[in-house]
Amino acid sequence: MSTAAPAPGQMEPGPTDPQAAEAARAAAARQAQLAARWSDACLAAALFAVDPVGIGGLNVRALPGPVRDIWLELLRELLPAEEPLRRIPLHIADGRLLGGLDLAATLHAGRPVAERGLLAEADGGVVLLAMAERVARNTAAHLSAALDNQEVMVERDGITARTPTRFGVIALDEGANDEEQVPDTLKDRFAVLLDLNDIPYNAALPADHEPITIRRARERLRGVQVPDDMLEAICGTALALGVDSLRTSLFAQRVARAAAALDGRDAVAMDDVSAAARLVLAPRATRIPMPEQPEDQQQPEEPPPEENQDDDENSQSPEQDIDKPLEDVVLEAAQAAIPDNLLAMLKMGAMRSRSRSHGKSGASQSGSLRGRPAGTRRGEPGAGARLAVIDTLRAAAPWQRLRQQERAAQGTGSDVLVEVRQDDFRVTRYKQRSETTTIFVVDASGSAALHRLAEAKGAVELLLADCYVRRDRVAMVAFRGPGAELLLPPTRSLVRAKRSLAGLPGGGGTPLAAGIDAALDLADGVQRRGGTPVVVVLTDGRANVTREGIGGRAQATDDALASARAFRVAALKALVVDMSPRPRPDAEKLAHAMGAVYLPLPHADAKALSGAVQAVA
Amino acid sequence: MPAAFPFSAIVAQDEMKLAILIAATDQSIGGVLVFGDRGTGKSTAIRALAALLPPMRVVEGCAYNCDPDAPDAALCASCRENRADGFKLKVRKGAVPVVDLPLGATEDRVIGALDLESALTRGEKRFEPGLLARAHRGFLYIDEANLLEDHLVDALLDVAASGENVVEREGLSVRHPARFVLVGSGNPEEGELRPQLLDRFGLSVEVTTPQDLKTRMQVVRLRDEFERDPDAFIEKHKRKDAKIRRRILHAKEKLADVEVPDATLERASQLCMKLGTDGLRGELTLIRAARAFAALEDDDSVEDKHLKRVAPPALRHRLRRNVLDDAGSTTRVNRAIEELFGT
């Protein structure tokens, strides 16, 4: 087990060109970091093999490729061959996942025959969730429930069953950008979040864990103790990194225990806790810990002697300061393992207080008649609903004998092969991604107005040009003088947009509050019709007209901020584009109050603007 | 079924625990909704409830857990017939049902449908009661309540409002009593709850993770101990759980004797008016919850201190959204309490 990346200062400096030496040093550091990450990934696989149920799951974020294949191969070798390894396809039906009525067997046997679901079949083993970032919310919820209760509860198709099942999950997360994420519900039930994305092929060396060590570790696992100071180190580190969920602390403790068992020890030691901090806590950090921890200073604890030395070639880890309290050592290990992109985000303070919601953006709607099929429900075809033939037959199947008897009793025709009644009808339900409506809120005041308006118009036209492909709509609100005005109601029509944008006057004061209020109203309407609004405000943030339409800078600014806060409550996606030639903090403050992304674009053209909008939406 | 984590071993989360105890004491309050972050022990607490409930009297052999002392109107068809025919209903002690409504449940399992088994094998038309029938006089627990499918929510709302489940399908025509307490949990980030469903919950609790090291360590330690040896752990906490059960039992008996002075009623109305809660349901719930709390505390009359404690869970989900006030509803309730009661 290797620890953090080496401190750059400890590398020997190149004798010749200082710049080349610097570059070489950086490259070496990067190399070492990647190697450390790969060895952590291997360690995670081994730990998961030791305790799949306790660890719950591994989220492997990586595009499909050789590195991921090597890692999976490695894991497969470590898992005992006799334990089931089941793959959950992306669009698995609830019936198959949880179990339900086995149609063929039911018809054959003449009595209801339950079918075991995939989760029940995976008892004692591992399920592999492919393309986990696109998993349906239902499937995620079922998986979470099964992981929580360690049993599958079925209440469907006339079958009531509870089947105990214990398994671990490997989620293959192929998300390409930050928007594509495995549902948080699920991630919270996985101990380890791995990211293999930029590990190069040549860094992916085979690891040195053997199936036999895994077996030994499994036997040892139950007896492994967690001393109090180690538990304190785990919980303290979690707190310092702002990891709120207690489940995470619990997982970190289990990972540490598995690490100790893997190492052949009966008590959790410093190394195990550090490994747990790197694998479990670091990827979930929501803040960078303060350099000083004033409270919970334990008496200095000497790290226990390491039984097996680091076998990595790059083990020039920063010498562990003996005087440091345990927690700081762990914290350091965790901090070094915080992924680069997360670290950058934390440093920018971009982690907004309200966490990203999965429900709002591009929220899919059910109940419509278009979109992707999403199961069936009882109901009659017609009015656009389509009959689901197989499910109708499935619903009718169990009754056939009964209905035959009824027919025989009534003396009506017996040449009916399958009798389907109204109650059996099932129709297909569809889910549809809701369309995005981009609302431009343009500051049309003052002298810069003409310039800004032209750019906004250009951006609107550009967005509309490809909106047919993306099924998006655009609307525009302008504010100047005493109030705000809806220039372009949500539309998809380029022609209409051009016509209503043609004559747009500028000049006058800046009633920012009125503009934001108008945008909020419009966004509310869009949302109520089932769309997803994205608000883009183009302004310099310097309000000078109050909500009542009276001049006065101080009151106007207060009003604008109040409107911005109201806007924030609605939790809409928003972008504030500062288009003043010299960006000042006003607009940034406004963006912050609105919960919006702030983007200074002093020399923006229509193209840059539409690019920025698409990035946000 | 895997053993449930004992209620008495749940660390902190006092408001949630109190709300659950209140709901267990007075079922007419109408259930608890627990909303909060992941990993705060929402489901754990609710699942622990089942072990706490004192047994109740039910009619022997009744599929719907009928109450032998209930008036005719509240009985199921077969019990009513039996009583009309002059039979004395046999009584047995039964556990209060806590029924899990799993997310993937189909409509026929929830409201009940033809019994497949007897239809297939004997060719009989028989009604097989669903989850709603099983939850009669008990609790119906919906985990991830906000993810429940719309057509199930509709069915639930209808039954919860009327206290009776009417099934008209597959040639069956059945009605049976179904009075149950809804208990839900969910994570607000996953989606909002429909207002109609929100309104059915008497109390709503917001839970957050504890932020101090000692509490967090304690949670992890206890959970770990439980998972390593559930039986021993439950045994260890048996006495404390029994104590809580006795407290609920005592509170149930005392409930009718707890007095609600006019002054308290007035206070409750003032509080609701100040907060602008919709409808009278808020006031009613507030009073009932305060009374149950007083009974739990073994107090003889409802005072301000009881109101103050139960006002946030009873009212916070009934506030109208105020766009110019981005403070959370909890803050608003607390502010109103402070203004009204002083400190």
Residue A215, H or E segment: helix A211-221
List, for residues A18-53, the tens digit of each pLDDT value.
788 888 888 888 888 888 888 888 999 999 999 998
Residue B207, H or E segment: strand B203-207
With beta carbons under 8 A apart, name residues in chain B contacting A106.
120
Domains and CATH numbers, chain B: 7-54+96-207 (3.40.50.300), 256-341 (1.10.8.80)
pLDDT band at A554 (very low <50, low <70, confident <90, very high): confident
Q: Per-domain residue ranges for chain A?
A: 45-208, 222-290+323-351, 369-432, 435-616
Are B302 and B263 in contact, with CB atoms under 8 Å apart? no
Report whether pLDDT(A376) > 50: yes
CA A68 distance to own-chain centroid: 20
ipTM of the complex: 0.77
| pLDDT value, residue A451 | 65
| pLDDT value, residue A349 | 45
List, for residues B21-54, the tens digit of each pLDDT value.
998 888 888 888 888 877 778 888 888 888 888 7
pLDDT band at B2 (very low <50, low <70, confident <90, very high): low
Average pLDDT of the residues in A417-446: 75
| pLDDT value, residue A351 | 41
DSSP symbol at B97: P
| pLDDT value, residue B261 | 92
Q: Report strand pairing: B98-101 vs B139-142.
A: parallel
Q: Which long-range contacts (CB under 8 A, 24 or more apart) does A355-360 make?
A: A355/A184, A355/B189, A356/A181, A357/A571, A357/B189, A358/A137, A358/A181, A358/A183, A358/A184, A358/B189, A358/B190, A359/B189, A359/B190, A359/B191, A359/B192, A360/A532, A360/A571, A360/A572, A360/A573
A145:B209 CB<8 A: no
| pLDDT value, residue A48 | 92
List, for residues B219-271, the tens digit of each pLDDT value.
889 988 888 888 999 999 999 999 999 999 999 999 999 999 999 998 888 88
pLDDT, chain A, mean: 75
List, for residues B113-135, the tens digit of each pLDDT value.
777 667 766 677 778 888 888 88
Tokens 């390894």 correspond to A85
Q: Which residue has the higher pLDDT, B79 or A304?
A: B79
Report whether pLDDT(B210) > 70: yes
List, for residues A445-504, the tens digit of each pLDDT value.
775 566 666 777 777 777 666 655 566 778 888 888 778 888 888 877 666 777 776 666
| pLDDT value, residue A33 | 82
Report whether pLDDT(A3) > 60: no
Say which residues have a Cβ less than 8 Å from residue B195's Cβ, sequence separation at least 6: none
The amino acid present at A488, given as its one-letter code, is: L
With beta carbons under 8 A apart, name residues in chain A contacting B319.
none
Report whether pLDDT(A370) > 60: no
With beta carbons under 8 A apart, name residues in chain A contacting B210.
246
CATH number for the region A435-616 comes to 3.40.50.410
In a mutagenesis test of the B interface, which of A154, A235, A286 is the best target, namely the one with the most B β-carbons within 10 Å?
A235
State what percent of residues in chain A have pLDDT above 90.
5
List, for residues A168-195, the tens digit of each pLDDT value.
999 998 877 666 778 877 888 899 988 8
Q: Which two tokens stand for residue B278?
A: 């919709």
Q: Is A222 on the interface with B (CB under 8 A)?
A: yes
Beta strands in B67-180 (DSSP E): 91-94, 98-101, 113-114, 127-128, 139-142, 164-169, 172-177
d(CA A608, CA A593): 24
| pLDDT value, residue A259 | 92
Average pLDDT of the residues in A533-544: 82
Are B313 and B243 in contact, with CB atoms under 8 Å apart? no
d(CA A35, CA A5): 9
CB atoms near residue A49 (< 10 Å)? 28
- A45-208 topology per CATH: Rossmann fold (3.40.50)
Q: Which two tokens stand for residue B50?
A: 């089942």
In a mutagenesis test of the B interface, which of A107, A149, A187 is the best target, namely the one with the most B β-carbons within 10 Å?
A149
| pLDDT value, residue B175 | 85
Residue A370 dihedral angles phi and psi, to the nearest 5°: -120, 170
List, for residues A221-251, the tens digit of each pLDDT value.
888 888 888 888 888 888 888 888 888 889 9
List, for residues A241-278, the tens digit of each pLDDT value.
888 888 888 999 999 999 999 998 899 988 898 889 88
- Nearest chain A residue to B123 by CA distance is A402
| pLDDT value, residue A360 | 33
Equal CATH topology for A45-208 and A435-616 = yes
The superfamily in CATH containing domain A222-290+323-351 is Magnesium chelatase subunit I, C-Terminal domain (1.10.8.80)
| pLDDT value, residue B167 | 85
For A157, the closest of B37, B106, B150 (CB atoms) is B106
Residue B80, H or E segment: helix B77-84
A154:B102 CB<8 A: yes
B190:A358 CB<8 A: yes
DSSP string, A100-120: EE-HHHHHHHTS--EEE-HHH
pLDDT band at B19 (very low <50, low <70, confident <90, very high): very high
A234:B220 CB<8 A: yes
| pLDDT value, residue B287 | 92
State what percent of residues in chain B have pLDDT above 90.
14
Residue A33, H or E segment: helix A18-50
Report whether pLDDT(B187) > 50: yes
| pLDDT value, residue B262 | 92
Q: Which of B211, B234, B212 is nearest to B222 (CA)?
A: B234
Residues 53-92 of A with CB under 8 A from B: 54
Q: Which residue has the higher pLDDT, A77 or A546?
A: A77
With beta carbons under 8 A apart, name residues in chain B contacting A250.
219-220, 223-224
DSSP string, A408-427: HHHT-----SS---GGG-EE
| pLDDT value, residue A605 | 67
Say which residues have a Cβ less than 8 Å from residue A585's Cβ, sequence separation at least 6: none
Report whether pLDDT(A298) > 50: no
Full-model pTM: 0.67
With beta carbons under 8 A apart, name residues in chain B contacting A97.
104
Indicate the range of A171-180, A274-283, B320-329 predicted with least confidence: B320-329
> For residues B208-235, b (16+ Cβ closer than 10 Å) or e, as one string?
ebbeebebbbbbbbbbbebbeeeeebbe
